Each structure stands twice: as structure tokens, then as C-alpha cells.
Structure 1
């Protein structure tokens, strides 16, 4: 069984790593249930912050000081081969349902569901796609969801950006299930192409929302009026690198990529992308990048989901590193298992999603 938890890091630099359930943002990640391993122990600067989440993914602190965690849900019971025309997938059948949500965690640990009833789908291997990230604009919570659309058996609830209402319902703001197939990337993956993409991470900037699509290797801008614009087709210049992580610093975007399976240590990179879509390598020599965050000194922290030179991700092989000025990597925390998603809190600690893919959702802690 794999645990899902929020944890905090306490060693210098003082970092609270909250391990929330990670949203299944990358369709190429094998189920952790397939990988049997005894996890390496967590480094002593890591402690549990919150438990009992259902496959948490991306997480951010809101303007109210509370932590908001995207939870993918666990799909449903009915099988679906997808309803898209001319579509086949190695991940079918899916088991779709409207079980994805967002949970708010207060400073005292109290958990409140603040957005519910969004699409979720469990694939043939037990991995789940659902809510993957959160962001705020003018105190309003927006949710990125990757569990919708015809390819996952949720044709009436698209993959896209949702706005959370005060009654914990959620409504579509940006329909990515319509945009993605009508705007194909230059180098799509033929063997596991998903019409609905894999919207994996999101940030808010200047009144708009920005999204990375891991399955198509693209970067989109979503306006609150529902219009969507492609900022950059990453696949056109970098190939299909599976972009999975996103953060913002001083008006520029930073995108990290997953790499390939079997895991090939050191091939992942972080790219700096301007609002105009210009791209350059910012850091390299990384492995399975699934989270990025800058501290208030401008230092970049990178979440590596598994650094083991193995066929699949390995429990206990995840870590957080800091990119030094000369490009070398300083190890900050180790012993993480299947982590995905990372953010700084107002207290200066890092909060990280751990045990975010694979495993039994009822075992979350």
C-alpha cells in the first residue's frame, strides 16, 4: 500500500514539504502498484502536515493563508472505452465519474472541500486523472482538471479550467477538450496520444491562467472569458519532452519536463519561457521533474519524482534539489515516494505532494 500525505521539510533552508495527493498529470507514468520496493527513509527535515486526501496533485496557498490541494478523485465503477471518434488508447478502459475535487486545509489542519463534482477517470492500470492544479485570480479559486472529455468517458465534462463557486460547485471557464484536438501540436505522441491532452500544471499571471499540456507538449493561455491561445508549441523546437511542471518568477515562466521510461537519470531540464513564447534552457541534469518553485531570493527548487536508474519510478527515490548559480544541484530533501506538486508557503516552508500516483486511495494519510 502506498500512503498519500502532506509533509513538511524542517532542515535548512527551512522547508515544510506538504505531501498532498498528486494529480495524475502525465499519462506515461506507470502505476506505482506495478513497482514493489521498500522506500528509503525520509530525510530528517521532512514531517507530515496533512493526511486523508484522495490522490492529491498540485497545491497552492490562497490569499486567505489556507492551503488548497487539487485531488484527482478515484474515477468511478462504469467502464468506458472513450467516446471520441477514431480513438484507441493503451490506457482504456477508463472508469469515469465526477469525483475530482479541491480541499482547503487550514492552519489547524481542518479540511474543507471547496470545489467538488469535477471529472475523474481511472485507467486500466489503476492510475487516475482528475484535478491537477489550482490557482487564484482576485481571490477566486480556479482548478485545472485533466479527467474530462470524450477520451476518458466524460464527454459532457471537459478537460479544462474550472471556476470554484461559493457553494463548492465548479463550472467550466476554459474548454481544453475542444481546443486541443482542433489545434494539434507539431510532434504528437502517436502511441499514447490523448485528444483531451494531459493538462498537468497551471499558474495565474496578469489576470489569465497558463497551462502545460504534457501529452501534446504545448503551453496555453486561458482567459477568463473562455478564449484560449497557444503561447508555445514546445514540441516544435524541443521535440516531445513531456512538459509536466510549471512556475512563474518575475514575469517569466519556467517549465520542467518528465523525460522517458525506462527512467533515464539526468535527461530532464527546466526551460525559461517568456510571455512572448521564447524558450531557452535554464537548468539541466535533472530527473523526472514534476514540481518547481522559487524562493524569495530567486533560488529555484526542483521536485524530482524518482532519481533511481530503474525501469519505473521507485519508492523513496524522490527528492527536492536547489539549483545553484553555477547550475549544480544542492540536495535539500530525500526519501520521497512518487511525489508530484510543490509550492512555498507564506511561512517560507516548502509543501510537497507525496505518494501522488498509484496505490490505494483509501490508504491516504
Structure 2
């Protein structure tokens, strides 16, 4: 996750190219249920081969290597080993991997960065993505934990993690000029998906998507997203793309969700489709600060927005939007318990599972949402709006080149 990219705060008119504002009748409370609670900066979700749900927790930091936070310059942030992977099995919530590296605001433990995502390959092997970057100091810490900024293969029987790809080192070798204020490599791999023997990774900090074979070979950049521009009556303002979620579509193309950097232009976040040649085109637009996306077996695409307004407005109600194959959109949930939404996955039961309150400690939740039924919208009644910032700066950290 990243530090806030500096940019002028000025906004163009809010536009929704395909946005639908719809009224919905109240639905039964059982349509949305909490299946996990008490999580620390909850992030990625994935179902394992046994049907259990695995959840990554970025943790609450610790008490080592404290320095000025690059997400909140008036606060301190510290490193620790409070990250974890939690499993929901037969209704029981249990941390099955612990002592993962974590960076968070001190002493509250908010805006944690660490275990970002978890996925399984076709053979049932688990892979864990840890965000941020190992940096010049973190690699030599006495934490006795895995490094930041790497993709690992997980053995749940032993708890062992085997590094598949050192993304931070790759990024530093490619461009050593992109550094965080503390000297760490400017990198934040946020989420990934697996297709065959290849992992596809969205690096929010570097504005690119990478791929690597699951045996660790052939780590490369597939596509880089250039800065984008909004035009106001007085000036043009550039902002960074900040890719977040990665999904494989029914057409086998890559689909990428976009957060957007400061100044968080509402209605300007896109879903990109990436062809085999690496060319990205806009598949759907009119969103605000997307954090994840996924397809179901019927070809519906689900897009997740962290909050329904830009983060600095202080309203963190999120939205889950369904996009049918014909482009029709429907808001499944807006507010009503969904806030600071950070990740989603489709369950074997066809329900959508969403990480909520993902920018804070102790209160993170996973919600189960039935896509077959409409759910009441928040008082804003806006079906398509946005995301604030994963713990404000968590996703956004990259120093300007």
C-alpha cells in the first residue's frame, strides 16, 4: 500500500458514464450476514479446496522501526509481526498462519500494510501476497518473519512460506529511483489471481500488473498504466491509475480494477481489459476508487468500491455493484454495514464475500451477500460512487518520478 501521491486538490464535474441510480425495496436481514469479525485490517479472501474461506489480515504493526508515517505525516508508524491468515471452517474462525510482517500507524494499529491477498491454484496449493516493500532496513530486521513485498507459497501443514517472487527487488532493479520517504523500495503488490501455472499481480504502488510462473520463473511486467488527466476550467490535473484487483474474464482476458490517486476524482475509476499483447482498454467506467473485482460462473462481474465518497469527506460507506454480461448494472449493497471495503471473492455457493472495515484494527468483518436479492441502499441512494483510500494511504504510496 502506499503513501499519498501529492497532487493539486481540484475536481472536474462528477460523471457516471454507465451509472445507475435505482431504488430498492427493503430486503430481509438474512440477505447480508457477517461470517467473520474482529479482524485486523482485513484484506484478501479466497476459498480453499476444502470449501473453507481464507482471509488475510494486514495486522496492526508493532514497536520496531518506528518512523514518520508516509500515509499520515503527523503520525508515527511501526513494524511488527502482527499479520495473519484466518480460516473460516465449519463456522469456526481461527488464525492458521501468524507472525506475518505488518506496518501500521502507532499506537492505534490503523491503516495496516502486510498480508494483502491469498489465492489457490488448480491443485489446491495456497499462495500468499505480502505488500509494501522490504526496503533497506526491513530485510535485516530481527522480526523472524517473511519479508514485505513478496509472493509466497504456503504450506498450511507446517506453516512454512516459500518465496516465489521478490517483487520489491524486481521493482528496484527496474527503477531504483522510485522510493518511499524512508528509503524503502516504492512498491506495493496489492492483489493477484492465478490462471494455470501463472500468477498475475497488481502492484498498486507502481501502477502496473506483473506476471510470474508459480515455479518462480519469468517475473515480468505485463502492462504499465500511465498517469491520467482531468481538466477543470482553470487547469489540467494529473493523477495516477493505481491498479488494485485482478480477475480472469470468461474470455480469458485480464480485467483490472482502478483506485485512482489523489485528488481522487469521483466517477473516474475504470475497469480495464488487458489483451495478450499488454494493451489495456476501458471495459467499464464511471466508478470511484475500486478495490477489487471478480466474475461469477454466469459471467457477471462484481466491482467493489471502498467508500461512496472520496476518503477526505469522511464517509466510508462502500458499494458492491454487479455488472451483467450485457453491461446492465445493479447495486447489491451500498452502506448498510459495508464500509471501507477492501476485497471480494465469489463463494462456491454463488454468494459474494466482501471484506469490510478493512482500514482499521479489531473490527474488520467479512460479509456474505446474496446476489439474487436486492438489499436496501444507504441514504445517499447513489448506486455507483466510490472508495476513499485503503486506510487513506495504504494503496496509494508511490513517490513521483
Alignment TM-score, normalising by the size of structure 1: 0.78
Q: Find the aligned partners of 1:175 and 1:97 in 2 and give their Cα distance.
A: 20
- The reply to whether residue 322 of structure 1 matches residue 322 of structure 2 is yes
Moved more, 109-118 or 94-103: 109-118
**Secondary structure in 2 aligned to 1:178?**
helix
1-side partners of 2:222 and 2:202: how far apart?
A: 10
C-alpha distance in structure 1 between counterparts of 2:196 and 2:290, whole Å: 26
Matched, 1:99 2:89: no
> C-alpha offsets along residues 187-242 of structure 1, whole Å, 9 cap, x if unaligned?
x6998996141111110112121110111101111223333111112237997211
Q: Give deviations 1:282-301, integer Å, cap 9, x for gaps.
A: 00001110110112111111
Deviates more, 1:305-314 or 1:343-352: 305-314
Higher deviation after alignment, 241-250 or 198-207:
241-250
Any idea what SS the aligned residue of 1:311 has? helix
Aligned residues of 1:344 and 1:351 also touching (Cα < 8 A): yes
Out of 111, 115, 118, which is 1:131 matched to? 115
Unaligned runs of 5+ residues in structure 1 are 1-24, 30-41, 83-87
Which runs of structure 2 are paired with 1:18-167 in the superposition (5 Å)?
Answer: 25=1, 27-28=3-4, 44=29, 45-81=31-67, 89=70, 93-106=76-89, 108-123=90-105, 126-137=110-121, 138-150=123-135, 153-155=138-140, 157-165=147-155, 166-167=157-158
Could you tell me which residue of structure 1 aligns to residue 191 of structure 2? 201
Contact 2:85 2:95 in 1 (8 A): yes
Structure 1 distance, partners of 2:139, 2:72, is 15
Distance 1:136 1:284 in 2: 29
Q: Deviations over 1:46-78 (max 9, x none)?
A: 221121222210101111111111111111112
- State the alpha-carbon separation in 2 of the partners of residues 351 and 261 from structure 1: 28
* Count of residue pairs brought into register by the alignment: 319
**Structure-2 separation of matches of 1:236 and 1:261:** 11
Rounded Cα–Cα distance in structure 1 between residues aligned with 2:261 and 2:363:
28
What do the CA deviations read for 1:96-153 (whole angstroms, capped 9, x no partner)?
Answer: 12222211111x2212333333221114694210001011122111000014512674
Mapped partners of 1:357, 1:122: distance in 2: 10
Deviation at 1:278, TM superposition (A): 2.1
CA contact (8 A) 2:340 2:356 kept: yes
Q: What's the secondary structure of 1:320's corresponding residue? A: strand
Distance 2:206 2:305 in 1: 21
- Tell whether 2:207 aligns with 1:217: yes
Q: CA deviation at 1:26?
A: 5.2
Please state how far the C-alpha of 1:90 moved relative to its aligned partner. Answer: 5.7
Cα RMSD, aligned residues only: 3.1
Matched, 1:233 2:234: no
Q: Structure 2 length as normaliser, TM-score?
A: 0.71
Question: CA separation in 2, counterparts of 1:252 and 1:119?
Answer: 33
